[in-house]
C-alpha cells in the first residue's frame, strides 16, 4: 500500500466512525425526547389527580358541615369553617403538590 492508500483508508474509516457517532447521538436524542415527553405527561396526570383530591376534600367537608343539624344558628359560615379546618390544609397540600408537578 502506498502512503496515499493508507491515508484514504484511514479517512474512510474515520468517516464511517463519524457517521456511526452521529447515528448514535440522534438515537440518544430521540430516547431523551421520549423520556421528557413521558415525564411531562406523568407530571400533568399527577397534578390533575392532586387537584381532584383537593376538590373532593372540600366537597366532603362542605357536605359534612351542611349535614350537621342543630337548634342554634351557626355562628360562622361554611367558608369560615373551611378556612380554619384541617381539611383545608390537606386540600392546600394537594394543590401545592399539583403546582410543583407542573413546574
Is residue 62 within 8 A of residue 21, CB to CB? The reply is no
Domain boundary assignment for the chain: 3-102
Question: 5-54 pLDDT, tens per residue?
Answer: 655 567 888 888 889 999 999 999 999 999 999 999 998 999 999 999 99
Question: 60-103 pLDDT, tens per residue?
Answer: 988 888 777 665 666 678 888 888 888 999 999 998 988 887 77
Q: Which of 22, 20, 91 is nearest to 61 (CA)?
A: 91
CB atoms near residue 50 (< 10 Å)? 21
Is residue 51 within 8 A of residue 95, CB to CB? The reply is yes
Q: What angle do CA 91, 94, 97 make, to 5 degrees?
A: 150
Per-residue pLDDT band for 59 (boundaries 50, 70, 90) equals very high
DSSP letters spanning 20-42: HHHHHHHHHHHHHHHHHHHHHHH
Q: What is the pTM of this model?
A: 0.58
Amino acid at each position: 500500500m502506498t502512503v496515499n492508500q493508507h491515508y484514504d483508508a484511514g479517512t474512510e474509516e474515520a468517516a464511517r466512525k463519524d457517521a456511526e457517532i452521529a447515528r448514535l447521538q440522534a438515537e440518544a436524542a430521540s430516547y431523551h425526547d421520549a423520556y421528557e415527553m413521558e415525564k411531562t405527561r406523568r407530571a400533568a396526570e399527577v397534578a390533575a389527580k392532586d387537584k381532584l383530591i383537593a376538590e373532593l376534600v372540600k366537597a366532603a367537608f362542605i357536605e359534612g358541615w351542611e349535614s350537621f343539624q342543630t337548634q342554634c344558628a351557626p355562628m360562622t359560615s361554611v367558608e369560615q369553617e373551611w378556612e380554619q379546618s384541617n381539611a383545608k390544609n390537606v386540600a392546600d397540600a394537594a394543590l401545592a403538590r399539583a403546582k410543583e408537578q407542573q413546574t
